[in-house]
Structure 1
Amino acid sequence: MSFHEVRFPAALSFGSVGGPERRTEVVTLANGFEERNTPWRDSRRRYDAGVGLRSLDDVEALIAFFEARQGQLFGFRWKDWGDFKSSLPSKDVTAFDQIIGYGTPERQDVFPLIKDYASGDQCYARPIRKPVAGTVRIALEQVELQERIDFEIDTATGEISFAEPPAEGVTIRAGFEFDVPVRFDVDRIQTSVASFRAGEVPNVPIVEVRV
């Protein structure tokens, strides 16, 4: 897949609207009961980048970014200001925020980053493919490790590679900031100076992509 490892200007994504979507197939039976199923394992995010525009300079920056991505052709990184780190929004990232796995008998040495979303007895493990460089922290049990000495992080895939495989049963924890892999959901952006000065902003849909 064509993807540029560059982030949409964070100042422009601040104030945008959006969030996760699911696809659920609902069949109502003759007796009134329902059968529900989903073809998606993972949710997908959608955003509107137009809401974050506050000046004509912002419009110019948006158009430049759009042209550099050639419309829908190339994906890019997006900072979701409502959900961009492993900890609670009010907390700082620590190496103990998320459990991403356990040491295996086979001495597995590569683990993907995940973020858990729990409610009651249910939990969804979201794959994190685009961690932000310099923010990833890893711990084995209660001991924090050192990046480039004990582990390496592939910021293009979200995979952690350990210098020494964790021992069997050892809890692997992680903390991080992350971006969402997205693309423009249109091949055309329409702007008007008169409309923008009147308080009308363009609609610029953004959709998450699988990577």
Structure 2
Amino acid sequence: FFINKRMRFLDLVRPVVNYLPEVEAPLKKQSFNDKLMWTAWTLFIYLICCQIPLYGMVKQEGADPMYWLRVILASNKGTIMELGMSPIITSGMIMQLLVGAKFIDVNMQSKEDRELFQASQKLFGLLITFGEAVAYLLSGMYGPIGELGLIRALLIILQLFLAGFMVLMLDELLQKGYGLGSGISLFIATNICEMILWKSFSPTTIRTDQGTEFEGAIIALFHFLLTKPNKFYGLQQ
């Protein structure tokens, strides 16, 4: 006997949908103050994670190869938020491309298909998170594998995976109507604002060709104006 109905990609995901964690939609419409509160808590958790260092990594010297991408990916080097939004962005982009190229048959007018598509995107995001964590580790970003050892290597992968999973859930929390906007744009904007504030008021010092200077531009400006005999030259620097 032949089965006329063609097996779709979304049908392959159906058995695991019930095992994927999901944020329940709010029972009632959230007020602006409630959305503001949920958004603030989400940003607070994200900013805290951006300051938690990865346990087990070996300190690496030299330039950060991902420096210019970190603003876009809302990631922070050497912390559990190393992967940032890259799993969400990558999974969403690939799934949309597959739908646009008709490799995946999905009817966005159907509620069931939309739920299956979102579950597929979440599952794909988790797989990408695990894959990126392993790739970062094997690239030597956290130190030579032989020096790290099996236990520390597994702990680094676990930390990155759990942080990536948390980002997926926080993004879903905002998209379900609890917060303001989407997690992707919110985290990227927050990361940019944090970088601007840090580069403006950072009290740490760095060594340059002109000597030791403050990293923060505002602090460096007042320092030059107070210490340089030529105020115009200090202002120019």
Give the TM-score taking structure 2 as reference length.
Answer: 0.22
Give the TM-score taking structure 1 as reference length.
Answer: 0.24
Structure 1 or 2: more helix by fraction: 2
Structure 1 or 2: more strand by fraction: 1
